Copies of this chain bind each other. A is one copy, B any other.
Amino acid sequence: MAKTVSSPPKPAERITIREVAQDAGVSVAAVSKVLRDAYGVSDALRAKVRASMDKLNYRPRASARGMRGKTYTLGLIFPDLRNPFFADVYAGVNSALERTQYQAMQGFSTTPAALIEAMIDRQMDGLILIGPNESAASLAATGARLPLVTIGQHDKSGDGYDTVNNDDQLGARLVVRHLVGNGFRNIAMLSLMQPASTVIEQRELGYRLEMMEQKCGGTINIVRAPQVVRDVQVAVRRLLESKERPDAIFCWTDLMAFEAISVAVDLGLSVPDDIAIVGYDNTMFCDFAQNSLTSVDQSGELLGLQAARLVVERIDGRSAADHFTVPPRIVARNSSRPRKPI
């Protein structure tokens, strides 16, 4: 039974920033800069200070920092814990914070208003909201109270908060282009019914515009279902059993696409020979052979990384808004390969 024994630190012997500075032979201000991961810190200085911190087992005291108005804690609010895409975003946030003294605390809610209050109450230095459905006005009001960055939210409102996105309209266009290129014509879109979001709007818009531009003769058909297993199943089943069965279904998220594959398999249909299926997010489950799901990669890790950087910049005093957009790309797999000629 090999176990890691980690002896708890002794709070009575806490090392101060002064002792770290003394040990490293630098100023207290220099140590402080390293702690904040401030710009202009040389690698040599960082290495020296970090070595002293490690040697002395230095750990900043959050409660003391809280009294000075800073807790070095960021709040992250995700809509849910089931979508594997959020694990990518989280990994990005984490790697951005690794070299800083900031610690992220996560919460989950589809209606985050109460959770936002709870995080402000708990003196978070800044917030990152993933896929929030709040209005721009409500987000600006939150942004006026503490540094705020949204991921997966396209409304902008003055300098109130920063936004980080992939280009969802382009992502949807890429899906239609890819499917048409592989010989599919009647491409339906399976979208989200509730709650409305700017991400959904952009993906639906991209789908509509590209279907029109491609002039492939396919019908524009958007079916909306709530993100609830049973409802998605009913919607997909209706689509697959309809007289005018589509050639392909573009699902607004991988999670819905996996459910669509499940319904197709249940009905004895072959993917993609009877029905092609494409998702969005390129989550780890796409790669499994039983899914082999074509998907749009929106670089979740990069989105998380960038959001963490931006919120720390705001904490450090930036007040003008920054809006970051990453280009999406198609990752093609079996679920949308060209059909075998009959």
Residues of B within 8 Å of A82, CB to CB, are: 84, 87, 284
CA distance A111 to B84 in the complex (A): 21
Contact present for A107 and B107 (CB under 8 Å): no
Contacting A263 at CB < 8 Å: which of B2, B90, B289?
B289
A196 within 8 Å of B by Cβ? yes
A220 within 8 Å of B by Cβ? no
CA distance A132 to B86 in the complex (A): 22
Residues of B within 8 Å of A287, CB to CB, are: 229, 262
CA distance A81 to B301 in the complex (A): 13
Contacting A8 at CB < 8 Å: which of B3, B104, B145, B259?
B145
Contact present for A258 and B285 (CB under 8 Å): yes
A81 — nearest CB in chain B belongs to which residue?
A: B87
Nearest-neighbour CB distance to chain B for A78, whole angstroms, equals 9
Binds B, one of A59-67, A163-171, A178-186: A59-67
| CB contact list, A83-116 vs B, under 8 A | 84, 86-87, 90, 94, 103-108, 111, 113, 115
Given A87-B82, A108-B106, A290-B290, residue A5 in contact with residue B137 (CB < 8 A): yes
Contact present for A103 and B118 (CB under 8 Å): yes
CA distance A61 to B229 in the complex (A): 38
Contact present for A63 and B121 (CB under 8 Å): yes
What is the oligomeric copy number?
2
Nearest-neighbour CB distance to chain B for A222, whole angstroms, equals 16
Residues of B within 8 Å of A8, CB to CB, are: 138, 141-142, 145
Residues of B within 8 Å of A159, CB to CB, are: none
A80 within 8 Å of B by Cβ? yes
Residues of B within 8 Å of A261, CB to CB, are: 288-290
Contact present for A73 and B4 (CB under 8 Å): no
Residues of B within 8 Å of A201, CB to CB, are: 1
Contact present for A196 and B3 (CB under 8 Å): yes
Nearest-neighbour CB distance to chain B for A147, whole angstroms, equals 15
Contact present for A104 and B107 (CB under 8 Å): yes
Contact present for B7 and A138 (CB under 8 Å): yes
What are 18 A-B pairs at a CB distance below 8 A? A5-B135, A9-B117, A59-B121, A61-B121, A71-B122, A81-B90, A82-B84, A82-B284, A84-B84, A103-B107, A103-B122, A105-B105, A106-B107, A229-B287, A259-B288, A262-B287, A265-B289, A285-B285
4 A-B pairs with the lowest CB-CB distances in the bound complex, closest first: A62-B121, A265-B289, A262-B288, A106-B106
Query: 13 new A-B pairs (CB below 8 Å) besides A61-B121, A106-B108, A285-B285?
Result: A4-B138, A5-B138, A59-B117, A63-B121, A81-B86, A84-B84, A94-B108, A103-B118, A106-B106, A122-B122, A258-B288, A259-B288, A265-B289
